Amino acid sequence: MTVQELIDSDMFEVVNEGSDTDRDISKVFCCDLLSIAMGKGIADAAWVTVMGNINTLAVMSLTDMACIILAEGARMDDPGMAKARQQGFTILRTDEPIFDAGLKIHERIQ
Amino acid sequence: MTPANIAGMAMIKGLQAVALTDHNTARNCPAFLKHCEAYGLIGLPGMELTTSEEVHVVCLFARLDKALAFDEYVHEHLIKVPNRKEYFGEQIIRDENDDPIGEEPYFLPNATDISFDDVYDLLKGFDGFMIPAHLDKTSTSLISNLGFVPPDSRFKCFELHKMENLHRLRKANPYLEKCKVICDSDAHYLENIHEAEFKLLVEEVTPEGIIEALGQGM
């Protein structure tokens, strides 16, 4: 499944569409500590997290993850939004818990 | 931002006391304190520690040797991930002429394996003073990351990013009622260094006097 297909599935709300939506999603990655995500983040993963800040985006970029899904109703803060728009990062969100959101994506990419 | 520029800007802004609190290191403090002295400022060495919970805690010291000893300890406990300059910038250590004398290869703002619960006693061993940082921020703060002030906490002072959040935070976290609160620049760029807005009443206008006053609580 590509990022665009995930957007089009309407499973999640689109916060920022992003500019690299043709890329494939390889896996789901769940983590809420940046220090761990930095070392263990998986390239081309859909990252499900509650951390809505600019540092999350830096780590996403560094580990080359495909997109971010903010779960549990989490929101991206203003500096994060500015960065997402500027850099073209895909950010989605949901009120669902992390596992549920991750599972939905996982089931679609099997 | 270099040690000399920070001290210079602080002087221009009319500040009296300035602390340098780089993430997880105090190695620019020797140069910084020399410039503070030259400018007639009271310089405090310190750092902003990242705990294992990714909570930021400002650590202040009256003495440079204690700050540097703590720096060595923290460095041993830093979770080491190579710094990526293209994302996070350079991590340069400078001498009193602002010349680079070293570079830190590991990403400094990363978590250490020091838990928030252990910080109070750990710092006491280094004659340091802890100030949980920017409690009102939505990430890297004690409240955002733990959700509450641990009931067995012993810190006497906390920092806010915006003083207007004081009432709301104290109401939600009664522990904070007995703490002194500070609001400071937390400047990552020179232009963000505050004007001289806030005053602290001290018995003695020295680093010791400042830390003593911050530790008085309410």
Question: Looking at residue B131, which CATH number applies to its domain?
Answer: 3.20.20.140
Contacts of B55 in chain A (CB under 8 A): none
When scoring B138, B144, B188 by the number of chain A Cβ atoms within 10 A, the one with the most, hence best to mutate, is: B138
Tens digits of residue pLDDT in B109-144:
999 999 999 999 999 999 999 999 999 999 999 999
Option in B53, B111, B138 nearest A53 (CB): B138
Cβ contact (<8 Å) for A33 and B81? no
Tens digits of residue pLDDT in B9-58:
999 999 999 999 999 999 999 999 999 999 999 999 999 999 999 999 99
Q: Find the domain containing B101 and state its range.
A: 3-214
- Whether the full predicted model's pTM is greater than 0.80, yes or no, is yes
Question: Looking at residue A25, which CATH number applies to its domain?
Answer: 3.40.1390.20
Does residue B80 belong to the interface with chain A, where contact is any CB pair within 8 Å?
A: no
Q: CB under 8 Å to B111, separation ≥6 — which residues? A: A33, A34, A35, B50, B51, B52, B53, B54, B79
Tell which residue, A65, A61, A34, has the closest CA to residue A47: A65
Other C-beta atoms closer than 10 Å to the C-beta of B89 total 10
Return the biggest CA–CA distance within chain B.
47
Contacts of B110 in chain A (CB under 8 A): 34-35, 38
- A58-85 mean pLDDT: 96
Does residue B54 belong to the interface with chain A, where contact is any CB pair within 8 Å?
A: yes
When scoring B53, B87, B115, B188 by the number of chain A Cβ atoms within 10 A, the one with the most, hence best to mutate, is: B87
Cβ contact (<8 Å) for B110 and A35? yes
CA distance linking residue A28 with residue A66, whole number of Å: 10
> How many structural domains compose chain B?
1
> How many structural domains compose chain A?
1
Q: Are A77 and A53 in contact (CB under 8 A)?
A: yes
